[in-house]
Amino acid sequence: MAIIPHLIVDQFGAYLGKHQGRLRVVKGKEVLAEAPLLHLEQVLVTSRGVSLSADAIRSCCTAGIPIYFLDEAGRPYAGLYAAGLTGTVLTRREQLLAGADRRGVALARAFAEGKIANQAGFLRYTAKYRAQTDPALHRQLRRQADRIQNHIQELRELEGGSVAEVREQVLSVEGRAAQLYWEALGWLIPAEYGWPGRRTRGSRDPINAALNYGYGILYGQVERALVLAGLDPYGGFIHADRPGKPSLVFDLIEEFRQVVVDRTIVAMATGGTALEMDERGRLVEKSRRAVAERILERLEGTERYERKRQPLRVIIQSQARHIATFVRGDRPTYKPFIARW
């Protein structure tokens, strides 16, 4: 079988076990998939009724392979890591202290700037492919990208002694830019998908369902990167602290939504990919797998970063480490990831 860097377990009644240095997914007597532990990056369990052996879990933890569990809407509800990964102390202490000083302000501004810059960049990216086929849309997308980009200066002018002093202003700037961005994406998505605009919860259309599912997969990548960097995923800066809310995951993911998920889902829609829904308003299993495979493939795609091309999953890990070194004082500034569209 071919080398599989990401193993997806998405069938009810499947069993994940270990067999001679591999993870093997079986259902009844049928082998659904196999992946050598040596080359595996992660395991995604996206169905109910899946069982896992203790040997498979131990092998993954020993090899540093996370196992993520997502519901049918793509919402992560659990993740398995090696216990020692959460044992760091110094970085977490400084992370929490940063929330009460100017380091937190700098991080909040940077996360929002990365999001807004990549929203504008993605619209310019889509516009350039329509310069000849639809000049009017090309100009419209370029103008909208400029409007979004203008919000960055507002962020840079924000001052405060702690993130609590600027959080509402950052969220306001971010929200106004997002309204323009989602309006523009509506110009790109074919009418047959019936996209009503961005909906985070309760959506019953295929585009929002696919976006939410893709964000769930990206969420796992970001959480793992933060844990490996010694950070607490629940100690965020833009997103306020709430019990059970992984605020720092929601902060860092903002830099990568457009380049990993939005680009992928818009490409699937404009390319005519069938995104089918069931009677409950959720993507059917075939569509969920198609989205997952495309998102994971995109994470292996490379972008220019620190003077060389690197896979996006590696860039996510590097950005997490940059947060850690910044809050510890080993790095003078934190710069968001902005793709070269």
271: closest CA among 289, 294, 242? 294
Q: How far apart are CA 217 and CA 318, in angstroms?
A: 18
Task: Determine the average pLDDT of the residues in 245-261.
Answer: 96
pLDDT range class, residue 191, cuts 50, 70, 90: very high
The predicted structure's pLDDT at residue 64 = 81
With tokens 């005519």, the residue in question is 272
52 CB burial (10 A radius; 0-12, 13-18, 19+)? buried
Please report, rounded to a whole number, the percentage of residues in the chain having pLDDT higher than 90.
73
Structure confidence at residue 1 (pLDDT): 44
Tell me what pLDDT residue 232 has. 93
**pLDDT higher than threshold 50 for residue 328:** yes
Q: For residue range 274-325, what is the model confidence (pLDDT) as tens digits?
A: 899 998 888 999 999 999 999 999 999 999 999 899 999 999 999 999 999 9
Give percent above pLDDT 70 in the chain. Answer: 97
Q: Residues, the chain, total?
A: 341
Q: What is the pLDDT of residue 203?
A: 78
| 42-46, 113-117, 174-178: least confidently modelled range | 42-46
Which pLDDT tens digit goes with each residue over 78-123?
Answer: 888 776 665 568 899 999 999 999 999 999 999 999 999 999 999 9
- Report the chain's mean pLDDT, rounded to a whole number: 92
Domains of the chain in start order, with CATH, are 6-65 (3.100.10.20), 90-327 (1.20.120.920)
Q: Give the rounded distance of the alpha carbon of 139 from its chain centre.
A: 29
Segment 221-234, tens digit of pLDDT = 999 899 989 999 99
Q: Could you tell me whether strands 302-305 and 308-311 are parallel, antiparallel, or unpaired per DSSP bridges? A: antiparallel
Q: What is the mean pLDDT of residues 182-208?
A: 91
Q: What pLDDT score was predicted for residue 22?
A: 87
pLDDT at 199: 87
d(CA 48, CA 116): 36
| H helix runs in the chain, sequence order | 54-63, 90-98, 102-128, 135-149, 151-156, 163-188, 206-228, 247-253, 263-270, 285-300, 312-327
Q: What share of the chain is helix, strand, coil (3-state, %, to 5)?
A: 50, 15, 35
Whether residue 2 is predicted with pLDDT greater than 70 in this model: the reply is no
Can you tell me the mean pLDDT for 10-24? 91
